[in-house]
Structure 1
Amino acid sequence: MAGKTIKPTSGSEVRPANAPDVPTSSSNDIAAFVAKARAMSPHRAGARGRLVFALDATMSRQPTWDLACTLQADMFREAGALGSLDIRLVYYRGFNECRASGWISDSAQLARLMSKIDCQGGNTQIGKVLSETRREAVAAGVRALVFVGDAMEESADALCASAGELGLLKVPVFMFQEGADATAEQTFREIARLTGGAWCRFDPGAAAQLRELLRAAAAYAAGGREALLQLAKTTSGAAKLIGQMK
């Protein structure tokens, strides 16, 4: 897949996510999109849970990408016991490439899509992930963003400004950090705090740790805070998230 544009397939089109990293919204703009997002809140009765699943797909991430590809089915299974879940895959890699899929409601379909993507060298583009999530939250409603990565090479202030807008939209961000990079941790923690989400670290290649975190995020996306509270009674991953969320 290196160097190739992914061709659209039914229900899983992958398109460039080229929103600017730094928001330039006026106070009136912010008020307008907050009002619109609340009017079409994904938390309303009968709404499908919507989760943006974002991954760093730069070169160092191939083992974790493969692991996430295997574990993503657990998110659908966890959500299935509570209601329904649609997932939008967002990833960045290479030179300024950031792409987003359509909404996917089937784990096999998401697995097929992820299997076509390989990791490529490049810098982080977390700002585009946050901007894409903000855009989708206003357009269609988003219940949560999950980000899995190990580094941060952007302006922390710009990322926090974008995170603040997601906080206004009531979209918590779950920042799952692989490894112990101190710069990444500081910014990831702040993004989580500003959005009412949570930050958690998992060890490289730790399938059990990441599985619990992804299951917990899916439970929240499908069933809200109550579902996460119930799961926290039996799993440490959910307990870690609920312990940080506002």
Structure 2
Amino acid sequence: MVDGPAKSRPGPVTPSGDQVRGEGLPGVERSSADAVAAFVAQARARSPAVQGSRARLLFALDATLSRQPTWDMACALQADMFREAAALGSLDIRLVYYRGFSECRTTGWISDSAELARLMGRIDCRGGQTQIGKVLAEARRQAAASGIRAVVFVGDAMEENVDGLCAKAGELGLLKVPLFMFQEGHDPVAEQAFREMARLSGGAWCRFDPGAAAQLRDLLRAAAAYAAGGREALLRLAASGGGAALLLGQMR
């Protein structure tokens, strides 16, 4: 992995020493239907049982330079995800972010909002292109290795091969891991890609306005509710409208 130009590096942000790898699991990228089916069966067999286990959510953020205001906003709002999930049980969050020149990193599993906020506060945004493919490869790896309920992605751009991203999103759909694609702004290329990725995974796409903390808070709370309590929890939250109703209206 090649890091971007050094500014004030925040020091180690990966408690487990993990880093996201750009490649996916062997044999899945161009696999036959039989190979995909075998992969899905193997991944489900290895995943922890839903009942009695802590819910797990992959929280992915675009940390390229244009994202600094939203990164700061997400730092302030991420505690709401934990609070929403606490009412339903428990939630572990794994942060994935990309920035700079081919830099994509992940933390270990975090169960405390203060710890996640501390780690996020040490990360600065850097110029670079999107690396959503690496995020999806990490999501697939975690789905197979430890089980995750959902992936939340917050970004404003897409600069990769859309067909490749959609293929990875479809594989997450086979594993019953929905993508919640939260788009800041009105980039039409990003919107088309994010909508299709969400659809293929069985998730949802929603837009929020730049700097709209209340909109993003509602969406993050709704995603956390789904991760912790499934569709039933999202249904209960949707009764009050807001982000939960937007997500529920799209999920198959």
- State the TM-score, normalizing by the size of structure 2: 0.92
**Separation in 2 of the partners of 1:187 and 1:225?**
24
Cα gap change, 1:184 to 1:8, in 2 (>3 Å): closer
- Deviation of the 1:3 alpha carbon: 6.2
Q: Which moved more, 1:173-182 or 1:25-34?
A: 25-34
Displacement after TM superposition at 1:41 (Å)? 4.5
**Aligned-residue identity in percent:** 71
1:131 maps to a residue whose letter is A
Correspondence for 1:6 among 5, 11, 36: 11
Select which of 232, 241, 247 maps to 1:226.
Answer: 232
**Paired letter, 1:17:** V
Alignment of 1:39 with 2:45, yes or no, is yes
* Letter matched to residue 227 of structure 1: A
Counterpart Cα distance in 1 of 2:49 and 2:189: 34
Alignment deviations for residues 110-147 of structure 1 (CA, whole Å, 9 cap, x no partner): 00100010000000000000000000100000100000
Render the CA deviation track for 1:148-190: whole Å, top value 9, x for unaligned.
0000000000000111110110100000000000000000000
- Tell me the secondary structure at the aligned position of residue 15 of structure 1: coil
Does 2:118 correspond to 1:115? no
For structure 1, the 5+ residue unaligned runs are none
Distance 1:127 1:57, change over 3 A: same
Contact 1:50/1:87, CA 8 A, preserved across alignment: yes
Displacement of 1:36: 2.5
CA distance in 1, matches of 2:201, 2:53: 21
Listed as ranges, the gaps of 5+ residues in structure 2 are 1-5
- Return the alpha-carbon distance in structure 2 between the equivalents of residues 115 and 39 of structure 1: 37
Structure 2 residue 26 is matched with structure 1 residue 20 = no
1:35-60 per-position Cα deviation (integer Å, ceiling 9, x unaligned): 12322445621121100000000000
Partners of 2:47 and 2:144 within 8 A in 1: no
2:207 aligns to what SS in structure 1? strand
C-alpha change, 1:6 and 1:29, in structure 2 (3 Å) is farther
What aligned pairs does 1:231-242 form with structure 2 within 5 A after superposition? 231-242=237-248
Structure 1 residues 98 and 3: alpha-carbon distance in aligned structure 2, compared to 1, 3 A threshold: farther
How many residues end up aligned between the 2 structures?
Answer: 244
Following TM superposition, by how much is the alpha carbon of 1:19 offset from its aligned partner in structure 2, in angstroms?
A: 2.7
Q: Is the contact between residue 48 and residue 84 of structure 1 (CA under 8 Å) also seen in structure 2?
A: yes
Structure 1 equivalent of residue 143 of structure 2: 137
Corresponding residue number in structure 2 for 1:126: 132
Q: Assess if the C-alpha contact under 8 Å between 2:68 and 2:124 holds in 1.
A: yes
Structure 1: which amino acid aligns with 2:202?
G
Q: Residues 42 and 191 of structure 1: is their aligned pair in 2 closer, same or farther, counting only changes over 3 Å?
A: farther
Counterpart residue number, 1:203 = 209
Q: Does 1:186 align with 2:186?
A: no
Residue in 2 that maps onto 1:169: 175
Q: Paired residue for 1:62, among 68, 89, 93?
A: 68
Tell me whether 1:89 sits opposite 2:95 in the alignment: yes
